Amino acid sequence: MKTLVVEDDRKIASFIQRGLKEQGFVVEVCADGNEGYTRAMSQIYDVIILDIMLPGRDGLSILRALREKKRVVPVILLTARSGLNERVEGLNLGADDYLPKPFYVEELIARIQAVVRRASGEQLTQLTADGLVVNLITRDVLRGDERIDLTAREFNLLELLMRSQGRVFTRTQILEHVWGYDFDPQTNVVDVYIRRLRAKIDVSSEPSRIETVRSVGYRFRRPEQGE
């Protein structure tokens, strides 16, 4: 999940960034409300973690502007204050959730997963396709009764492809979603990880679950595509 964290307290921002990255999130952090607003309007994120009290533009102002511009990205508000009026105002402006400080990063992760599922209309906590079962909560991957051990990056890559079976992703799109920052256009990191993932999830006697679309990119094979 590509996440924007707008938080001016460096310790809290570092705490959030470290905790999310350990769970495989792609995290961008900024400490200024004006920069946060610019990023939120110009880039695509799966979720935004937004502090209310910020230098420059405050969090509620950013939220209001996003909703006025019809940006529906899920937003979780953070604040050190616990006043009911502020909480109600944030929710009325279109916040998806609200978390008072201090908090445990495990709770933040659970709330992120919940708001993203609600926003997408997805109630399932696992993906299944072609004999694979991917649990999005525990991050376990099974092929039949066999457990497959994936690194965080391999898991994120598999999740991206399985969420949109049959859709072709270019290497640039995969880099953006899984690595979260720009690489040298000539890098072969995507191809390397695709080979690693295939070696782990495929059965040697069957066609690969991940298809190469020549000169374009990769896609997760739908069952009928392999017939």
CATH number for the domain spanning 6: value is 3.40.50.2300
Q: Say if residue 23 is in the same domain as residue 50.
A: yes
Q: What would the pLDDT profile of 86-117 be if each residue is shown by its tens digit?
A: 667 777 888 888 888 888 888 898 889 888 87
Q: Say if residue 131 is in the same domain as residue 114.
A: no
Q: Which long-range contacts (CB under 8 A, 24 or more apart) does 21-26 make?
A: 22/152, 23/109, 23/139, 23/152, 24/139, 24/152, 24/153, 24/155, 24/156, 25/1, 26/1, 26/2, 26/156, 26/177, 26/178, 26/179, 26/180
CATH number for the domain spanning 202: value is 1.10.10.10
Q: Say if residue 145 is in the same domain as residue 79.
A: no
**Amino acid residing at 83:** G
Structural domain of 205: 126-226
Q: Say if residue 6 is in the same domain as residue 88.
A: yes
> How high is the pLDDT of residue 121?
61
Q: Say if residue 162 is in the same domain as residue 95.
A: no
Alpha carbons 85 and 45: distance in angstroms, whole number: 28
Taking the CB of residue 98, how many other CB atoms lie within 10 A of it?
A: 18
Q: Say if residue 100 is in the same domain as residue 55.
A: yes
Helix axes 59-68 and 33-42, enclosed angle (nearest 10): 20
| Residues composing the chain | 227
Q: Say if residue 72 is in the same domain as residue 161.
A: no
Q: Say if residue 22 is in the same domain as residue 54.
A: yes
> How high is the pLDDT of residue 184?
63
Last residue of a domain, one of 76, 99, 120: 120
Residue 154: name the closest of 219, 198, 93 by CA.
Answer: 198
Q: What would the pLDDT profile of 124-173 be if each residue is shown by its tens digit?
A: 577 888 888 998 878 899 988 899 999 988 998 998 899 888 888 888 88
Last residue of a domain, one of 120, 137, 165: 120
Q: Say if residue 191 is in the same domain as residue 115.
A: no
CB 28 within 8 A of CB 52: no
Residue 126: name the closest of 113, 109, 107, 111 by CA.
Answer: 113
Q: Say if residue 97 is in the same domain as residue 138.
A: no
Q: Say if residue 108 is in the same domain as residue 206.
A: no
Last residue of a domain, one of 120, 148, 164: 120
What phi and psi, each to the nearest 5 degrees, are found at residue 225? Answer: -70, -25
CB 50 within 8 A of CB 63: yes
Q: Say if residue 94 is in the same domain as residue 161.
A: no
**Amino acid residing at 209:** R
What phi and psi, each to the nearest 5 degrees, are found at residue 175? Answer: -60, -45
What phi and psi, each to the nearest 5 degrees, are found at residue 117? Answer: -65, -45
> How high is the pLDDT of residue 155?
92
Between 123 and 216, whose confidence is greater? 216
Q: Indicate the number of domains in the chain.
A: 2
For the beta sheet containing 47-51, the strands, ordered from the edge strand earlier in sequence to the opposite edge, are 26-30, 2-6, 47-51, 75-79, 97-100
